[in-house]
Amino acid sequence: MYEALINKDASFEGLFFAGIKSTGIFCRPTCTARKPKFENVDYFASTKDALFAGYRACKRCRPLELNGKTPEWLNDLITLVKQDSNKRWKDFELKKAGIDPSRVRRWFKKNHNMTFHAYLRSLRLSNALGNIKHGDDITRAAYSHGFESVSGFREAIKQLIGEPAAKSKLKTIITVNRILTPLGPMIAGATEEGLCLLEFADRRMLETQFKRLIKLFDGSIIVGDNKFIEKVSEEINSYFAGKIKRFTVPIVIPGSDFQRRVWSELKNIPYGATTSYEGIAKKINSPKAIRAVATANGDNRLAIIIPCHRVIGKDGKLHGYGGGLWRKKWLIEHENVINQV
């Protein structure tokens, strides 16, 4: 942990917090403050433990805030965007509101991998496509969602789905957005039927999962708002707070018959319990398909909702988890603690 602290290793975010004896503050592993001496560091599993030990939260890395949380200086702008996602914000309007456009641009690039203006354009396009799929004509949808011309709107749709606007009704739109958790940001994705994606934002397979979803749904991915993303955000927050043990958000999980059998069995693993790949194979009446079960387990696109973190090795050790073994360990221990309350 000291090595991670010195190297500011982001892969340890959420795993521990460091209390600096010489200053009386506690930090994230990635804090940019001066490097403390080895003997001057205490380690804590949670911010609560650090606070109870008498340490104060660092004002630089802000360990009490969720990683990726919208900063205070941006909250008013985010509220205004939610109230009117069709408004075309200009840099001079941001400056007039006392907000530095460059600062906004950097934050959106870091947290959404796109500029603020690209984010707004994506929201407008998402809303317009939703109207078209429910019977609105292209011209009305374009002008009612802030596009200056129908031709520009048509070109935006073509760039998104690779086909003319007239065919957009046939495409499945997969809306994605971030949700915040104590273990780092997650990317949630949903169609009009239900949730189809929930992955930690730093998972290396995330781009591959996007490509699979596009192929499976014959659809396109766009940043925006969706009622199922809002619901899973609420339920995930309740899960981490220890208030719920089961999820009710509707899910859509296209896959092979074998994959769906495995994922269905994963959902049957009791909260706070664990099983092995071999145990899952036996449950689905395919006792020799242990490796195939492990592969299907890794192909799960709904982390936590379909609790693949509850599958461990036959030897009782933790093996393979897309979100990182430290998160798997944390989730298992979290559920054990809640079960004992």
- pLDDT digit string, tens, across residues 230-280: 999 999 999 998 999 999 999 999 999 999 999 999 999 999 999 999 999
Q: Which of 73-77, 137-141, 273-277 has the lowest average pLDDT?
A: 137-141
Do 156 and 74 share a structural domain?
yes
18 vs 78 pLDDT, higher one: 18
Q: Would you state the pLDDT for residue 253?
A: 93
Do 260 and 246 share a structural domain?
no
Q: Would you state the pLDDT for residue 82?
A: 76
Question: Last residue of a domain, which of 132, 162, 192?
Answer: 162
Among residues 27, 61, 196, 308, the one annotated as catalytic is: 308
Q: What is the CATH number of the domain that holds 227?
A: 3.30.160.70
Do 74 and 53 share a structural domain?
no
Active site residue 31: no
Do 321 and 279 share a structural domain?
yes
Q: Would you state the pLDDT for residue 143?
A: 47
Question: Last residue of a domain, which of 194, 223, 250?
Answer: 250
Do 127 and 92 share a structural domain?
yes
* Mean pLDDT of all residues belonging to the chain: 83
Q: Which of 58-72, 146-160, 261-275 has the highest mean pLDDT?
A: 261-275
Do 262 and 220 share a structural domain?
no
- One-character DSSP codes across 285-315: T-TT-HHHHHHHHHT-SBTTTS-GGGEE-TT
Q: Would you state the pLDDT for residue 189?
A: 93
107 vs 147 pLDDT, higher one: 107
Backbone angle region of 54, left / alpha / beta, with phi > 0 → left and psi within -120 to 50 → alpha: left
Do 259 and 195 share a structural domain?
no
Do 274 and 242 share a structural domain?
no
**Can you give the residue range of the structural domain that contains 32?**
2-57
Do 288 and 223 share a structural domain?
no
Say how far apart CA 255 and CA 75 lie, in whole Å: 39
Say how far apart CA 177 and CA 198 lie, in whole Å: 10
Q: What is the CATH number of the domain that holds 7?
A: 3.40.10.10
What number is the average pLDDT over the span 158-187? Answer: 70
Asked if the model's pLDDT at residue 165 lies above 50, the reply is no
* Tally of structural domains, the chain: 4
Q: What is the CATH number of the domain that holds 267?
A: 1.10.10.10
Q: Which of 25-29, 158-162, 173-177, 181-185 has the highest mean pLDDT?
A: 25-29
Do 262 and 230 share a structural domain?
no
Say how far apart CA 221 and CA 196 lie, in whole Å: 12
Say how far apart CA 30 and CA 321 lie, in whole Å: 22
Q: Which of 31-40, 54-63, 177-186, 253-262 has the highest mean pLDDT?
A: 253-262
Q: Output the CA–CA distances (angstroms, integers) from residue 5 to 12, 34, 50, 301, 327, in the order listed.
A: 9, 10, 16, 31, 18
Asked if the model's pLDDT at residue 284 lies above 90, the reply is yes
Do 132 and 91 share a structural domain?
yes
Do 214 and 157 share a structural domain?
no
What number is the average pLDDT over the span 187-213? Answer: 89
Say how far apart CA 64 and CA 61 lie, in whole Å: 9
Q: What is the CATH number of the domain that holds 87?
A: 1.10.10.60
Question: Last residue of a domain, which of 217, 250, 283?
Answer: 250
Asked if the model's pLDDT at residue 190 lies above 80, the reply is yes
Q: Output the CA–CA distances (angstroms, integers) from residue 24 to 18, 55, 312, in the order listed.
A: 10, 5, 39
